[in-house]
Structure 1
Amino acid sequence: MTDTADLPRITPETQVVLHDLAVRRDRDDWIVGRMATRTFVALPYAGARAVQLLRGGGTVADAAETLRAETGEEFGITEFVEDLAALGFVARIGARPLPDTAPPPASLPRLRPRHARLALHPVLPWLVAALLAAALVALVRDPELLPGYRDLLWSRHGSLVLLSGAAAGWALVLAHELAHLVTARAAGVPGRIRLGTRLQFLVMQTDISGIELAPRRHRMTAYLAGIALNLSVASCLLLVLAAADPGPTAHRLLAAGLLLALLPLPFQLMVFTRTDLYFVLQDLTGCRDLYGDGLAYARYAARRVTRRAGHDPSRELPAHERRAVRGYSVVLVVGTVLCLAFMACVTLPADVTLLVRAARGLGPGHGLAGNADAATVLLVLGSVNVLWAVTWWRGRKASRAARRR
Structure 2
Amino acid sequence: MKTGAYSKLTLHSLHIRKDKKNYIVEDLSSGEFYEMPKICIDAIEMINEGKMLSEIEAVLTSGYPDEEVDMTDFAGQLFALGLVKSVDGEEVPRTEKKRGEPEGFNWISPRVGKFFFNSFMTRGYIGAMILCVVIFLVRPELWPRYQDIFPFDLMMYNIVAVLLVTFLLVLVHEMGHVLAVRSEGLPTRIELGHRLVFVVLETDMSRVWSLPPEKRNRLYLAGLYFDAVMLLAALAAKLVFSDDEVIMGIAGVVVLNTVIRIIYQFCIYMKTDFYYVLENKTGCYNLMENGQSFLKNTLSFLPGEPYTEAFSGEEKLVRPYAVFYLLGVIITLVLAAAYSVPQLAFAGSYIYTGLSHHPGTLLFWDALIFLLQFILVFGLLFYSWSKKYRLNQ
TM-score by length of 1: 0.76
Partner of 1:218: 215
Structure 1 residue corresponding to 2:50, chosen from 51, 59, 84: 59
Query: In structure 2, do the counterparts of structure 1 residues 66 and 116 end up closer, same or farther at CA, with 3 Å as the change threshold?
Result: farther
Structure 2 match to 1:287: 284
Mapped to 2, the partners of 1:351 and 1:107 lie a distance apart of 39
Q: Relative to structure 1, is the Cα distance of residues 259 and 107 closer, same or farther in structure 2, using a 3 angstrom cutoff?
A: farther
For the residue of structure 1 that corresponds to 2:285, the secondary structure is coil
The answer on 1:313 being equivalent to 2:308 is: yes
Paired residue for 1:87? 81
Deviation at 1:170, TM superposition (A): 2.3
How much does 1:301 deviate? 1.6
Task: Work out whether 1:162 is the aligned partner of 2:159.
Answer: yes
Distance 2:282 2:256 in 1: 32
Instruction: Find the aligned partners of 1:182 and 1:131 in 2 and give their Cα distance.
Output: 19
The answer for the alignment partner of 1:375 in structure 2 is 368
Query: Structure 2: how far apart are the matches of 1:163 and 1:22?
Result: 50
> 1:124/1:345 Cα in 2 relative to 1: closer, same or farther (>3 Å)?
closer
Contact kept, 8 Å, 2:267 with 2:331, in 1: the verdict is: no
Mapped partners of 1:26, 1:109: distance in 2: 29
Q: Please name the residue that 1:106 is paired with.
A: 102
Task: Work out whether residues 174 and 223 of structure 2, in 8 Å CA contact, stay in contact via their aligned partners in 1.
Answer: yes
Task: Please list, as runs of the form range in 1=range in 2, the aligned pairs for 1:208-287 lying within 5 A after superposition.
Answer: 208-239=205-236, 247-287=244-284
Alignment check: 8 A CA contact 2:266 2:328 kept:
no
1:45 CA displacement: 1.6
Instruction: Extract unaligned runs of 5+ from structure 1.
Output: none
Structure 2 unaligned runs (5+)?
Answer: none
- The match for 1:46 is 39
Which has the larger displacement, 247-256 or 335-344? Answer: 335-344
Q: Deviations over 1:293-313 (max 9, x none)?
A: 11111111233x79x999553
- Secondary structure of the 1:183 match is helix
Identity %: 19
Instruction: Tell me if the contact between 2:265 and 2:273 (Cα under 8 Å) persists in the aligned partners.
Output: yes
Q: Which moved further from structure 2: 97-106 or 59-68?
A: 59-68
> In the alignment, is residue 24 of structure 1 matched against residue 21 of structure 2?
no
**1:289 Cα deviation after fit:** 0.9
Distance 1:251 1:200, change over 3 A: closer
**Distance change >3 Å, CA 356–CA 80, structure 1 → 2:** same
Matches within 5 A, 1:102-251: 102-104=98-100, 106=102, 108=104, 110-111=106-107, 114=110, 117-118=113-114, 120-132=117-129, 139=135, 143=139, 146=142, 148-149=144-145, 152-187=149-184, 190-239=187-236, 247-251=244-248
| Selected match of 1:387 from 376, 380, 383 | 380
The 1:50/1:335 distance shift into structure 2, 3 A limit, reads: same
Which shifted more, 66-75 or 166-175? 66-75
In 2, distance between residues paired with 1:300 and 1:271?
19
Q: Is the 8 A contact 1:189 1:209 kept in 2?
A: no
Change (3 A) 1:200 1:341: farther
Kindly report the root-mean-square deviation, in angstroms, between the aligned alpha carbons of the 2 structures: 4.2
What secondary structure sits across from 1:123 in the alignment?
A: helix
Quote how far apart the aligned CAs of 1:165 are.
Answer: 0.9
Asked whether the equivalents of residues 60 and 78 of structure 1 are also in contact (C-alpha less than 8 Å), the reply is no
SS of the residue aligned with 2:79?
helix
Once the two structures are TM-superposed, the CA of residue 380 in structure 1 deviates from its matched residue by 1.3
Aligned residues: 386
Sort the Cα spacing of 1:92 and 1:396 in 2 relative to 1 into closer, same or farther, 3 A: same
Give the aligned residue type for 1:389.
Answer: F
CA offset at residue 220 of structure 1? 0.8
- Distance between the aligned counterparts of 1:348 and 1:69, measured in 2? 58
Letter matched to residue 15 of structure 2: L
CA contact (8 A) 1:135 1:239 kept: no
Kept after mapping to 1: 8 A contact 2:267/2:332: no
Work out whether residues 159 and 376 of structure 1, in 8 Å CA contact, stay in contact via their aligned partners in 2: yes
